[in-house]
């Protein structure tokens, strides 16, 4: 009788444990600008909260551009993707005293090791380019990596990348323990007599020559002026006026390569931006502006180096822009 009661006690827990495991994703979706859990759910006929629970996401915090989501089958319910550990299983009424099973010890999982991506020594780290991804978007996924780093590591002459391409986005440092293990595997033990060696005399190296300053600020407006003139001669002129915002970037401070985020022009377009002070810069469009609350009412976002060149200190300064379609 005790065995029967024990089995009846475990049946509800076993049923909940099966939920969620059999639900396999039908597709992977990369979050684009202005997309939300609700809009993506409507696209695949799945409730937004079901999509959040299925991907272990807090529904109230939302999602980020470039985030990859697993899409459950059409018609999946909220109960099917709810973590079984949050469900309360009621035990049947006790007819006789039944001993509860011993608790299972939980094993702690260590957080994933952070990868240093700015060093050019060690094991290269690769990123597979997704649909509509740009160099700017990929650089935001790996802190400390700039667009110029990506172009240098992958021998890219332009800002364009192809979907499915594998890009080097950094280098993972080898730990001292890993190096010691690798050395122990490759080296063969050799029995020799101990001989004291005199320390090698290090000859002082000549100081490296100072490189001349090649700052792009010697070009009025930045390094993209000639590209703007080339595009302007072959396209249809367009212009707008409105408020500008500022985003942080490591580019432009020394090489005059200014960048911007703008919704009405394709990536790679060069835009001439003129501030109310009369100063102007030529900036390359990296991507559209993210659909964030702080960007409401803004016409364009420029890098902080470009804002400094324009003499702009706040995020709502009036500017005018010109480019060719």
What CATH number has the domain bearing residue 20?
A: 3.10.350.10
Domain assignment present for 250? yes
Last residue of one domain, picked from the residues 61, 86, 111: 86
Q: CATH number for the domain including 148?
A: 3.10.350
Domain assignment present for 316? yes
Residue labelled with tokens 């990369």: 30
Both 66 and 134 in one domain: the answer is: no
Both 146 and 222 in one domain: the answer is: no
What does pTM read for this prediction? 0.43
Structural domain boundaries enclosing 300: 217-324
Determine the Cα–Cα distance for residues 16 and 37; give it in Å rounded to an integer. 25
Both 223 and 318 in one domain: the answer is: yes
Domain assignment present for 281? yes
Q: Which among 149, 151, 173 is positioned nearest to 250, based on CA atoms? A: 149
Pick from 101-105, 111-115, 320-324: least confident = 111-115
Both 316 and 261 in one domain: the answer is: yes
Determine the Cα–Cα distance for residues 48 and 31; give it in Å rounded to an integer. 14
Higher-pLDDT residue of 133, 183: 133
> At residue 87, does pLDDT exceed 80?
no
Determine the Cα–Cα distance for residues 53 and 254; give it in Å rounded to an integer. 46
Both 153 and 227 in one domain: the answer is: no
Both 131 and 82 in one domain: the answer is: no
Last residue of one domain, picked from the residues 105, 138, 172: 172
Pick from 70-74, 139-143, 198-202: least confident = 198-202
Each residue's pLDDT tens digit, 235-292: 789 999 999 999 988 888 989 999 999 999 999 999 999 998 889 999 999 999 998 8
The highest-confidence range among 85-89, 218-222, 285-289, by mean pLDDT, is: 285-289
Q: How many domains does the chain have?
A: 3
Tokens representing residue 157 in the block: 């002459």
Domain assignment present for 76? yes
Q: CATH number for the domain including 240?
A: 2.40.40.10
- Tell me if residue 138 falls in helix, strand or coil: helix
Q: Which among 130, 168, 166, 133 is positioned nearest to 151, based on CA atoms? A: 168
Domain assignment present for 77? yes
Domain assignment present for 161? yes
Q: What is the overall mean pLDDT for the chain?
A: 76
Both 73 and 154 in one domain: the answer is: no
Position 132 confidence tier, pLDDT thresholds 50, 70, 90: confident
Last residue of one domain, picked from the residues 86, 110, 137: 86
Domain assignment present for 185? no
Position 99 confidence tier, pLDDT thresholds 50, 70, 90: low
Domain assignment present for 96? no
Contact between 242 and 298 under an 8 Å Cβ cutoff? The reply is: yes
Q: What pLDDT is attached to residue 303?
A: 92
Higher-pLDDT residue of 87, 198: 198
Contact between 85 and 13 under an 8 Å Cβ cutoff? The reply is: no
Determine the Cα–Cα distance for residues 129 and 1; give it in Å rounded to an integer. 61
Position 181 confidence tier, pLDDT thresholds 50, 70, 90: low
Both 161 and 225 in one domain: the answer is: no
Both 259 and 162 in one domain: the answer is: no
């Amino acid at each position: 009788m005790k065995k029967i009661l024990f089995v009846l006690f475990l049946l509800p827990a076993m049923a909940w444990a099966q939920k969620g495991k059999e639900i396999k994703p039908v597709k992977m979706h990369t979050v684009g600008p202005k997309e939300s859990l609700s809009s993506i759910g409507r696209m695949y006929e799945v409730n937004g909260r079901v999509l959040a629970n299925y991907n272990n996401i807090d529904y109230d915090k939302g999602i980020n551009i470039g985030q990859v989501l697993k899409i459950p089958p059409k018609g999946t319910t909220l109960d099917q993707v709810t973590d079984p550990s949050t469900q309360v299983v009621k035990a049947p009424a006790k007819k006789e005293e039944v001993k509860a099973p011993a608790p299972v010890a939980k094993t702690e999982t260590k957080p994933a090791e952070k990868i240093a991506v700015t060093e050019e020594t060690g094991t290269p780290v690769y990123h597979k380019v997704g649909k509509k991804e740009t160099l700017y978007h990929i650089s935001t996924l790996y802190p400390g990596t700039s667009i110029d780093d990506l172009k240098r590591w992958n021998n890219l002459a332009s800002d364009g990348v192809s979907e499915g391409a594998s890009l080097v986005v950094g280098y993972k440092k080898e730990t001292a323990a890993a190096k010691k293990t690798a050395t122990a595997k490759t080296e063969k033990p050799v029995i020799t007599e101990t001989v004291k060696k005199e320390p090698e005399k290090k000859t002082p190296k000549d100081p490296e020559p100072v490189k001349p300053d090649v700052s792009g600020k010697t070009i009025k407006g930045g390094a993209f002026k000639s590209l703007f003139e080339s595009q302007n001669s072959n396209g249809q002129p367009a212009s707008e006026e409105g408020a500008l915002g500022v985003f942080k970037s490591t580019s432009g401070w020394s090489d005059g390569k200014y960048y911007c985020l703008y919704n009405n022009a394709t990536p790679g377009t060069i835009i001439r931006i003129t501030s109310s002070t009369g100063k102007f810069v030529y900036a390359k469009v990296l991507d559209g502006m993210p659909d964030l609350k702080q960007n409401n009412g803004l016409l364009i976002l420029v890098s902080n180096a470009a804002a400094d060149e324009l003499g702009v200190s706040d995020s709502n300064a009036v500017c005018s822009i010109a480019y060719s379609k």
